[in-house]
Structure 1
Amino acid sequence: MSLRRRRAAVVFRLTVVISVVAGIVLTALGPATVTGLLPYFTIQSNVAVGLFAGYACWLAWRDRPEPPAALKGAVTLYITITGVVYHLVLANPASPFAMPQPDRALGEALGNQFLHTVVPLLAVADWALFDRRGRLRPRYAAWWLAFPLGYLGFALVRGLVVDRYPYPFIDAGELGYDGVGISAVLFAVAFWVLGLVFVGVDLVLGRVGRGPAPDDPGVVDRPVGEPVG
C-alpha cells in the first residue's frame, strides 16, 4: 500500500472506530445500559468492527500487511447484516418482524443511526477501498455463518434463562422452536447469499485490477520489460 493510501486508510479506520464508540455511548444514554445492549447482534457486530478497524489502522500506520482477507470479509459481512436486517426487517413497517420504533431523544437517535447505518456503510467502504482484491473464496461464505449460528444458540439459551429474546424472528416464546427454526434457515440462506455477493464482487474487482490474462487473444506479446500503454 502506498504512503498516500496508508494515510487515507488510517484516517478512514479511525473514523470507523470513533463512529462505533459514538454509537454505543449515545445509545447507552437512553434507557438501555451498556450491559443491557451487549446481548444484541448489533452491538456485538459493531464492537467487532471497531476492534478490527483499530487493529487494521495500526497495521496501516506501521506499514505492515493487512489482516487476513477472510477475517475482514467476515467482520464486514456481520456489520452489513446488522444494517440490512435493521432497515429491511426490524424498522420496516411492512415486515412481519417489524419492531415498534420508540420516540428517541436526539442523542439516542444519533447513536441508533451510527450503529445501524453509518458504521455498516463505513465498514463496507473500507473493504471496497483498501482491501487487496481476489483473495476471497466461495467456501468462505459458508464459514462466515459460524458466528450468526453461534449467536442464535446464545440467544435461545439466554432466552430460556431470562425469558426475553433480542429479536422477534428468534423469539421462541412467540414463534415456538419450529418457527424459530424456519426463520433461522431463511436468514441463514440469505446471509450465505450475501456472503457470496461479497466473494463475487471481490473476485470480479480482482480480475479487473489484474487486467486480461497473458493468454487472452486480445493481449499483444511485448518484449520483457517493455511498458504497457
Structure 2
Amino acid sequence: MRVLSRHRLCLLLAILGWSGLGIQLELVLLARWESGASVVGGLLSYFSFFTILTNTLAACVLTYAADNRTSKGKTFFLQPWVSSGIAVSIVVVGAAYSLLLRQLWQPEGLQWLANEILHDVMPVLFTLYWWFCVPKGLLRVRHIGLWVLYPLLYFAYILLRGHLLGVYPYPFVDVEKLGYALTFINAGGILAGFVAVALVVVAVDRYRGSVRSR
C-alpha cells in the first residue's frame, strides 16, 4: 500500500509538472499565432529556456517514478545520480528566478499560474521527491562533473542561438546589451551557485546514506 501511495503521489506531481509546461507552451504558441509569427519559431523559443528544459526533465523523472512498468527510460532517469542532478538543476531554477528575475515583471492570469508552477512549486516538490524517494549514499563528488555539463552545454547553445538570431532567453546573458565579458561573469556566478548546490546535495546524500547504514 505504501508503494502504491507513493506511485500515486508521483503521478500527481508529474501531472502538475506537465500541466505547468503545457500552460506555458499554450501561451507561447498563442502569442506567436496572434502576432502572425512562426509556430516553429515559438517552439524553438519555448525550448530555449533552462526553466522549461529542467522542468521537462523533472516531469519525466516523476512520470517514470509513477509507472510500474520497466523501460530503458525509467532505468536511466531513476538512477540516483541522474535524479539528483536534475534536483540540483531545478533548485537553481527556483533560486535564480527568485533572485534575478521575479522583480523584472508581474505576470497575471495563466502566465502567473505557469510561472508559479515552474519556478516555485515544482522546485520545492521535486526537492521533496528527491529527499524522500531517491536512494541515498550512492553519490560521489565526481558526479558533479557530469551534472555541470548540462548548464555548460545550455550556455553554449544560447550563445550560439543568440549570435545567429540576436535573441537571448534571459537578460543576465544578453550579449548584445551586456557584452561578452559581463555575460560570462554572470554565467560564471550562476555556475558557481550550481556547483554550491551540487556540493550540498552530495553532502546530504552521503550523510543520509551513512546514517541509514548504521
TM-score by length of 1: 0.79
Are 1:28 and 2:32 matched, yes or no?
no
Which residue of the other structure, out of 103, 124, 128, is the alignment partner of 2:127?
124
Q: Return the letter of the residue paired with 2:81.
A: A
What residue in structure 1 maps to residue 78 of structure 2? 67
C-alpha deviations, 1:189-212, integer Å up to 9, x for none? Answer: 11111101000011111112122x
What residue in structure 1 maps to residue 108 of structure 2? 104
Measure, in 2, the Cα distance between the counterparts of 1:103 and 1:49. 23
Which residue of the other structure, out of 48, 52, 59, is the alignment partner of 1:43?
52
Which residue of the other structure, out of 9, 12, 36, is the alignment partner of 1:12?
9
Question: Which of these two proteins has the greater Rg computed from alpha carbons?
Answer: 1
| Structure with more helix by fraction | 2
SS at match of 1:25: helix
Q: Return 12-21 or 113-122, whichever deviates more.
A: 12-21
Measure, in 2, the Cα distance between the counterparts of 1:53 and 1:208. 26
Offset at 1:158? 0.6
Moved over 4 A (4+): 62-66
Q: Residues 17 and 59 of structure 2 are in contact (CA less than 8 Å); yes or no, is this contact kept in structure 1?
A: yes
Measure, in 2, the Cα distance between the counterparts of 1:208 and 1:115. 33
Q: Residues 73 and 198 of structure 1 are in contact (CA less than 8 Å); yes or no, is this contact kept in structure 2?
A: yes
Are 1:89 and 2:86 matched, yes or no?
no
Q: Return the letter of the residue paired with 1:13.
A: C
Aligned-residue CA RMSD (Å)? 1.9
Measure, in 2, the Cα distance between the counterparts of 1:134 and 1:119. 24
Q: Residues 142 and 192 of structure 1 are in contact (CA less than 8 Å); yes or no, is this contact kept in structure 2?
A: no
Give the length in aligned residue pairs: 197
Offset at 1:62? 4.5
What residue in structure 2 maps to residue 170 of structure 1? 173
Instruction: List alignment gaps of at least 5 residues for structure 2.
Output: 30-41
Which residue of the other structure, out of 101, 108, 116, is the alignment partner of 1:113?
116
What residue in structure 2 maps to residue 219 of structure 1? none
What residue in structure 1 maps to residue 136 of structure 2? 133
Q: Residues 137 and 206 of structure 2 are in contact (CA less than 8 Å); yes or no, is this contact kept in structure 1?
A: yes
Offset at 1:54? 1.2
C-alpha deviations, 1:36-89, integer Å up to 9, x for none? Answer: 32211111111111112212222xx24897821111111111111111111122
Q: Residues 14 and 53 of structure 1 are in contact (CA less than 8 Å); yes or no, is this contact kept in structure 2?
A: yes
What residue in structure 2 maps to residue 57 of structure 1? 66
Q: Residues 39 and 155 of structure 1 are in contact (CA less than 8 Å); yes or no, is this contact kept in structure 2?
A: yes
